Structure 1
């Protein structure tokens, strides 16, 4: 057993950034856990930019190549003599078993590791089906390091150098091998999507018929989108990580002219000291702006029964995959539907935990969970057949795995999702979703496109929407001063603070504009006014609208949308806070007023007539977002106009 010398030294974030930038041209890999659920996702990162060995995996074994003097010295070392004799491509060869036996040549260490990625087709390694793998297409690449950079949970970087004790050959600095030049005529490659808009929904409809007629519990389908891209892939990866930190972020340059990178929500496996955790993810809803928007998105997600059932199926199927390799009875559901909030979407996560049985290791788990059920369906083999019949193109890297396995037995495995594979200036992004018999084809197509958004933004192909929308500026100036008429209103200080945030001062001397709240029933004799909450209902009642008393609704969140009559434009969704004991009796019969916004039932919540405005919500509530505040600002600007 070979015990390497391991030298550690402090490293700076700038050094790590420069090392990562070298992956634009040189071989290597990055795997980081950069976000997630506290206590579930172990924050860390490994950056390998000076590989000593490259192991290219095939269905019948591995091809090992030294990439540095240190790598050549390793391959020549007597401790690896037995492995050299048994490794290589041969009938019946198993690449994962050869990778396992390579690490077994070294003393246990968290820094002696293999890091790389396996494509979707690696699922054939689960059994003798490896014999039917394409002999011209590798099943992934793994790197053995000469030098590492590692980041701990606190964000501190450490450099790690691996050396041979008493090596016969000097360990000279590694020179990046680079990659073959990209073929000429790259601009002649015309990128195209797998399917035009609407065809994915039609594919889902066919899949639902398949679910009804074949022994399938669930099925996951996908499609690829392709765009021409320019610039640095590492730069795009940096933008992706900054905008969308994720449980499994990865970058791979495999030396063939291909760069693969992504920010996946799915940290598939965590193995530590013989303990196994799996973190299946299912259900996707776009994350709305702000804290209230995020809460609304999570509410929508957790009220979706189809997604809850799909996640349960994934967890049960994962238990089935892991059970043969864990101690009997040790697998448990440790967390159910924990919320995972990322930059653009929210997900639900389960956590399974178990204990490896004697003789089992991380490589067994990698083989058992390749092409995981959340990316294929249940049962897996029937789902794979349906995928082959229905999907318009091979999956490639989508649904594969980024893997990191150390000689001490610990491992991290991430599912390759939200990823871009770049070749000859064209980026391919693949996305899909898990289907049950009652899935909605239209919703599945929308979700598929939503999942590509963060990648296209990283390439600069789609304008990124901020998680906090910028406040809308009215086309007319806001009044500098307003009079506040708010008898018995319990939130006067909050309302004053809200107005101050808009640059409006509350003054009893103001004559031109008033804000009515609380028990206010009378409007000023002259000037314009904006009434909010129950005061708005009282003003509408005074104008002849039918109003009724309702059971108190305090601290309720409304989902609203602007109309074409609003100066902000139509179709802006927003959250607003409702505190009310009054409501319109016939909300669809409000005559003589412009309706600027409606709630989810289509009932008006913002009405304007000349220099009079009624907002049936509280714009000062923290349940409201920036659009709700913008509606208030627009109303103030409107009623201030002479």
Structure 2
């Protein structure tokens, strides 16, 4: 086990940290050295040709950190037993460095106190001769009411001193927290966002998309009631539901496939506020006189850095954030009608959000419900602020 990075605050940050760890030449060299020494240790007591690496730079995730791990096996020679295996391996290269004798002499010369229990092992010997041990790191030593926690890091030529110090603190953090933490009452996700949709009814127009239910869940979290209908519904639905907002979903194909221009015009005639996502934005742009074009490269399941105007729909947002995209069509900036104002764009200028200047209508091209838009709950925050801003 060698190569360490701190865990992220979310699963997506974990994924980013894993990529950073796997791309670290320093951490790869560190694990490689430890594995080569471990193979050498095993070769001392194992049958010829039996020492094999069966797992390389595997990821293991713990409560505070992420490690890379190599898995090495070997078959003991007939004249060796479990104690030989233990003695050939002690002390572990991950705790000493390499070459072992020279590294351990440096430890003896430089460290200010004996390691004691740290880096040893705890285990058991069974009556059949099997030996099973675990190294004593990430361990709390209790004596006379005093808890001791030790942690270390492997130093290489490429090491950055401050980074190595932070790594030791990360390694010790879970144990220190366990010692010092006080019991706290459980928290609830309810009330995580303001109830901006409470008492409001949303007519959710489903354009045969696969993200409708997640978007609907976001709207329901604002306290709003949702009624979902398929595109092409009869006019009487407006009267039966009497919505406070019409939400136009994403979908495949083009806005014309679902009659979105006609839908937008029907809503405008009834003075119904409008919000759209992806295809919903495209339909709104066409309905108000704009034009669409096809991207040079489709953006499906990909993220982009977006720059926004941090006010109105994006109040409280950072000026730049990352969001997920699923689209091949986009609104042409040079053909956008004057009645629509651009609120957000990608780095290469693709329109990501618009708002009508005189009518309660807005739309986003990116997907607020995507896992790629989860950071800081910005997607949910957008829906909450949309309900407060648009729903009548």
Q: TM-score range by the shorter chain?
A: 0.5 to 0.7
Query: Do the aligned partners of 1:471 and 1:629 also contact (CA within 8 Å) in 2?
Result: no
Q: Displacement of 1:459 after TM fit? A: 2.6
Which of 138, 147, 153 is residue 427 of structure 1 equivalent to? Answer: 147
In 1: Cα distance, 2:37 partner to 2:373 partner: 41
In 2: Cα distance, 1:540 partner to 1:457 partner: 53
Query: Which residue is equivalent to 1:377?
Result: 97
SS of 1:421's equivalent?
strand
Aligned pairs for 1:412-423 (under 5 A) are 412-423=132-143
Query: Do the aligned partners of 2:18 and 2:66 also contact (CA within 8 Å) in 1?
Result: yes
Which of 553, 564, 577 is residue 299 of structure 2 equivalent to? Answer: 553
Query: Which residue is equivalent to 2:7?
Result: 286
Which of 459, 475, 481 is residue 194 of structure 2 equivalent to? Answer: 475
Which of 310, 327, 333 is residue 580 of structure 1 equivalent to? Answer: 327
For structure 1, list consecutive stretches of 5 or more residues without a partner in the other structure: 1-279, 587-591
Query: Which residue is equivalent to 2:381?
Result: 631
With over 3 angstroms needed to count, the CA separation of the structure-2 counterparts of 1:593 and 1:553, relative to structure 1, is: closer
Query: Is 1:514 equivalent to 2:246 in the alignment?
Result: yes
Q: Displacement of 1:301 after TM fit? A: 3.5
Query: Which residue is equivalent to 2:117?
Result: 397
Query: Which residue is equivalent to 1:619?
Result: 368
Which of 343, 349, 361 is residue 81 of structure 2 equivalent to? Answer: 361
With over 3 angstroms needed to count, the CA separation of the structure-2 counterparts of 1:317 and 1:425, relative to structure 1, is: same
**CA shift digits 1:552-591 (9 cap, x unpaired):** 12223679999997777879x99854313357999xxxxx
Q: Displacement of 1:316 after TM fit? A: 0.9
Q: Displacement of 1:370 after TM fit? A: 2.3
Q: Displacement of 1:293 after TM fit? A: 5.4
Query: Which residue is equivalent to 1:347?
Result: 67
**How high is the TM-score relative to the length of structure 1?**
0.44
In 1: Cα distance, 2:203 partner to 2:284 partner: 17
In 2: Cα distance, 1:613 partner to 1:324 partner: 71
Q: Displacement of 1:430 after TM fit? A: 2.5
For structure 2, list consecutive stretches of 5 or more residues without a partner in the other structure: 228-237, 334-340
In 2: Cα distance, 1:562 partner to 1:421 partner: 52
Q: Displacement of 1:401 after TM fit? A: 1.7
Q: Displacement of 1:446 after TM fit? A: 3.5
Which of structures 1 and 2 has the larger relative contact order (alpha carbons within 8 angstroms, sep 6+)? 1
In 2: Cα distance, 1:371 partner to 1:350 partner: 17
Query: Do the aligned partners of 2:309 and 2:343 also contact (CA within 8 Å) in 1?
Result: no
SS of 1:431's equivalent?
coil
Q: Displacement of 1:355 after TM fit? A: 1.0
SS of 1:434's equivalent?
coil
Q: Displacement of 1:356 after TM fit? A: 0.9
SS of 1:328's equivalent?
coil
With over 3 angstroms needed to count, the CA separation of the structure-2 counterparts of 1:605 and 1:347, relative to structure 1, is: farther
In 2: Cα distance, 1:376 partner to 1:394 partner: 13
State the Cα RMSD in Å. 4.8
Structure showing the higher strand proportion among its residues: 1
Q: Displacement of 1:352 after TM fit? A: 0.8
In 2: Cα distance, 1:531 partner to 1:415 partner: 56
Which of 298, 306, 330 is residue 26 of structure 2 equivalent to? Answer: 306
**CA shift digits 1:396-437 (9 cap, x unpaired):** 433222222223221222122222223454433233333443
Query: Do the aligned partners of 2:58 and 2:68 also contact (CA within 8 Å) in 1?
Result: yes
**How high is the TM-score relative to the length of structure 2?**
0.68
In 1: Cα distance, 2:79 partner to 2:355 partner: 74
In 1: Cα distance, 2:307 partner to 2:144 partner: 43
Q: Displacement of 1:471 after TM fit? A: 6.5
In 2: Cα distance, 1:463 partner to 1:538 partner: 52
Query: Which residue is equivalent to 2:126?
Result: 406
In 2: Cα distance, 1:631 partner to 1:444 partner: 37
With over 3 angstroms needed to count, the CA separation of the structure-2 counterparts of 1:640 and 1:584, relative to structure 1, is: closer
In 2: Cα distance, 1:375 partner to 1:561 partner: 46
Q: Displacement of 1:353 after TM fit? A: 0.9
In 2: Cα distance, 1:417 partner to 1:609 partner: 60
